[in-house]
Amino acid sequence: MIEIIELTKKYGKFTALDSLNLQINKGTVFGFVGQNGAGKSTTFSILATLLAPTSGTAFINGYNIQKDTKAVRRQIGYMPDFFGVYDQLKTSEYLHFYGASYGIPYQERQKLIPRLLELVNLSHKKDVYVDLLSRGMKQRLCLARSLIHDPEVLILDEPASGLDPRARVEMREILKELKTMGKTILISSHILPELADMCDSIGIIDHGRLIAQGSVSEIQAMLHQERTIVVKFLGEAKRVISFFEDDPFVSKLTEMEKGSLQFVYRGTEEEQMELLKRAVLQDLQIISFSEEKANLEDVFMEITKGASLS
Amino acid sequence: MKNFTLNPVLNKELTLRFRSFKSYLGILFYLLALGLIIIGFIFIETIAYGQNFFRPSASREMFMFLSALQLGLVLFITPGLTAGVISSEREKQTLNILLTTTQSSTSIIVSKLVSSVAYLMLLIAASLPLYSIVFLFGGISPGQFFITAGFYLFSIITFGTIGVLVSTLIRRTIIAMVTAYSILLFLTGGTTFLTVLLSEISYGYYGGNVSGFFPFPYFTAMLNPFFVLISVLEPSFNDELTQYTGIHFPLWAAFLISYTIIAAASMVISIKKLRPNMQRG
């Protein structure tokens, strides 16, 4: 579990992090979304005991990041947004080095490292020098490195940045696997749709302040109290369009393609149910009536336009 | 990486250092330079006396020359090896990850220093066959040889700690190197100049009577490893300095104390500054 209390970081007059409060429960995957300079990496660096906060504090599994630094380091696996590797080390040696740095005995590492390499799909590269690996492979190796001491909390700063689409998909699959292993994961990304189907909850940070927190749909509801509905139907479009246009809670109705339309609905869930019921009773030949999943990127762009939600 | 009795950072540093071809090239060029200078010394010595053989009595001079030369070379290499140990990790973006492990700051700093010192000791050990040329002609006791070796080790450790300190405090390797070399220059060239200058002032102050008490040349000389090496190999140098300064305390002991303080302070500051103080933002 991660608990952040009034965390503030100032560099002279510039406030990088402004009284951040956050609670992430055990086993949760929390996505941290924000533009460059929003304060994501600063937060992660403080949690990883690499940067001292100006005020406020944080706890990781009950350990204070300022007082119990060694215990915190044992609890976390940290992957920075930018990192280097030791050129002259082989992949397995790289993991051995970090394993030894956490005090894991050699015999134990011998069993552990092949498992980690398998998890990140690098078993075939165990004897290859680290600097010869591709960017995506290095990212995966760094992720394996962050897991070497079996931490309960993972702090992953933009783990998918700079990766090609295939490598992103691979990284996302590994993170899903880690989620099933019950790890508490704090992850940041600019690739917002990547987080949408992976995170239990997201936080939007802007100018050092957390301006929204919740599930993707909660944040969307928070924004507009409105939902985007997609309707697929058979038969004459004119009659269907006319029916929905007559509803006072419907707006921005657009016909997308033949037999499909989309509109924004501002009513309650009960009113939405009634709308669907009436459409069926009117024999409109509805095939499907569904809420479009919130596009996190849209939400992010909307939220970080400047309007504070808190 | 198999050796788990060694500290992991030290183990990794030694692996990386001796896996690099540059390290072996360094040893080769070091020995070539040292060997050529010794052969040159013997050649000049032979010509100077118009003889076709090397005088055994010149062996002691050659040992002193070789010792001073080796000290100069080793001190010149030390900042190059140590002033980048932390800053280069920072530049390569590997330091942050290392600092989030449970390795203590002391362990990281000490391992970095030891790996650099180990390489320098290897250079000195590799030069032993060249020293055997000196022993071939006699004039040097094994005791003097071991004292010289111990003196090298001590100087290397102290200058190594200074290198590690600037590497910890200064983010850029190139600036850390320039700073480390500047400190080295002051502790060798700077103190030589000051010692000579202050001795001249002392001579002038006492109007040619050099038996007065003017301690300042002693304080600068005790920081200079070359003066200390000469005082160890040539005790008459000590007597002369005592005449100038009125201080009877052995120069090597003052050197030992002052350099121990410098090394200890450098280590403590490096260890404290490696990680941020999480209590103060």
Residue type, B74: V
Q: Which domains does chain A have, with CATH numbers?
A: 2-214 (3.40.50.300), 221-298 (3.30.70.260)
CA A279 to chain centre: 37
Query: Under a CB-based contact definition with an 8 Å cutoff, are residues B70 and B127 in contact?
Result: yes
3-state secondary structure (DSSP) of residue A189: strand
Tell me the mean pLDDT in the region B149-170. Answer: 94
Do B232 and B147 form a contact (C-beta atoms < 8 A)?
yes
- pLDDT, mean of residues A179-204: 82
Contact A46, A9 (CB under 8 A): yes
Higher pLDDT, A207 or A148: A148
Residue B281 lies in a domain: no
Which residue bears the tokens 């929905």? Answer: A244
List Cβ<8 Å contacts ≥24 apart for A5-8: A5/A56, A5/A57, A5/A58, A5/A59, A6/A55, A6/A56, A6/A57, A7/A43, A7/A46, A7/A53, A7/A55, A7/A56, A7/A57, A7/A58, A8/A53, A8/A54, A8/A55, A8/A56
Q: What is the pLDDT of residues B31-87, one digit of tens each?
A: 998 888 888 887 887 777 766 666 667 777 788 888 888 899 889 999 999 999 999
Q: How high is the pLDDT of residue B42?
A: 79
In terms of pLDDT, which residue wins out, A281 or B43? A281
pLDDT for A67 equals 92
Q: Across residues B251-261, what is the average pLDDT?
A: 94
The answer to whether the CB atoms of A88 and B19 lie below 8 A apart is yes
B273 touches chain A (CB under 8 A): no
Please give the angle made by the CA atoms of A68, A189 and A117, to the nearest 5 degrees. Answer: 70
Residues of A in contact with B20 (CB under 8 A): 88
Question: CB–CB of B101 and A106 under 8 A?
Answer: no
Which whole number is the average pLDDT over B200-229?
A: 78
Q: What is the pLDDT of residue B207?
A: 58
Task: Inform me whether the pLDDT recorded for B166 exceeds 80.
Answer: yes
Calculate the average pLDDT of chain B.
86
Which DSSP helix (H) or strand (E) runs through A10? strand A2-11
Q: Dihedral of CA B163/B167/B173/B174: which sign?
A: negative
pLDDT score, position A309: 40
pLDDT tens by residue, A211-245: 888 887 777 666 666 678 999 999 888 899 999 99
B210: enclosing H helix or E strand: none
Residue written as token pair 């007059």:
A13
The residues facing A5 across adjacent strands are A57
Distance CA A145, CA A107 (A): 17
Query: How large is the ipTM?
Result: 0.83
Kindly state the average pLDDT of the residues B163-170: 96
The predicted pLDDT at position A308 comes to 41
Closest C-alpha to B228, from B192, B263, B180: B192
Q: Is the pLDDT of residue B29 over 80?
A: yes
| Burial class (CB within 10 angstroms; exposed 0-12, middle 13-18, buried 19+) of B100 | buried
In a domain, B185, yes or no: yes
Burial classification of residue B250, based on how many CB atoms lie within 10 Å of its CB (0-12 exposed, 13-18 middle, 19 or more buried) = middle
Look at residue B32 and tell me if it is in a domain. yes
Residue A299's pLDDT is 58
Question: Closest partner residue to A84 among B4, B93, B277, by Cβ?
Answer: B93
Residues facing A79 on adjacent strands: A156
Instruction: Give SS3 for B125.
Output: helix
pLDDT at position A98: 95
pLDDT grade, residue A310 (50/70/90)? Answer: very low
pLDDT at position A31 over 60: yes
Chain B CB contacts of A67 below 8 Å: 278-279
CB atoms within 10 A of CB B52: 7
* Count of C-beta atoms within a 10 Å radius of residue B102: 15
Please judge whether A103 and B19 are an interchain contact, meaning their C-beta atoms are less than 8 angstroms apart. no
Length of chain A: 310
Structural domain including B113 reads 8-274
User: Confidence band (pLDDT; 50, 70, 90) for A306?
Assistant: very low
For strand A29-33 and strand A250-257, is the pairing parallel, antiparallel, or unpaired?
Answer: unpaired
Taking the CA of residue A74 and the nearest CA in chain B, the distance in Å comes to: 7
Q: Is B273 exposed, middle or buried (0-12, 13-18, 19+ CB in 10 A)?
A: middle
Does residue B92 sit within a domain?
yes
Q: Over chain A, what is the mean pLDDT?
A: 86
The rounded distance, in Å, linking the Cα atoms of B87 and B175 is 10
Whole-angstrom CA distances from A130 to A85, A136, B23, B108, B235 are 7, 12, 20, 22, 55
CA-CA-CA-CA torsion for A85, A87, A91, A94, nearest 10 degrees? -60
B238 within a domain of the structure (yes/no):
yes
Confirm whether B152 is domain-assigned: yes
Is the per-residue pLDDT at A86 higher than 80? yes
Q: Give the nearest partner residue to B100 out of A55, A78, A93, using CB atoms.
A: A78
Q: What is residue B279's DSSP assignment?
A: T
| Residue B260 domain flag | yes
% of chain A at pLDDT higher than 70: 90
Q: What is the pLDDT of residues A246-271, one digit of tens each?
A: 998 898 898 888 889 999 888 888 88
Q: Is A89's CB within 8 Å of B100's CB?
A: no
Residue A97 main-chain phi, psi, to 5 deg: -60, -45
Q: What is the pLDDT of residues B8-22, one digit of tens each?
A: 999 998 888 888 888
User: Mind listing the pLDDT tens digit for each residue in A104-133?
Assistant: 999 999 999 999 999 888 999 999 999 999
Sign, CA dihedral B247-B249-B254-B257, equals negative
**Please, which pLDDT band fits residue B124 given cuts at 50, 70 and 90?**
confident
Is B3 inside a domain boundary?
no
Per-residue pLDDT tens for A44-81?
999 999 999 999 999 999 999 999 999 999 999 999 98
Q: Provide the number of structural domains found in chain B.
A: 1
Question: CA A192, A195, A196: angle at the middle one, nearest 5?
Answer: 90
Instruction: Give the gap in angstroms from C-alpha A287 to the nearest C-alpha of chain B.
Output: 54
Per residue in A295-304, pLDDT (tens digit) is: 555 656 655 5
Asked if A76 and B280 come within 8 Å (Cβ–Cβ), the reply is no
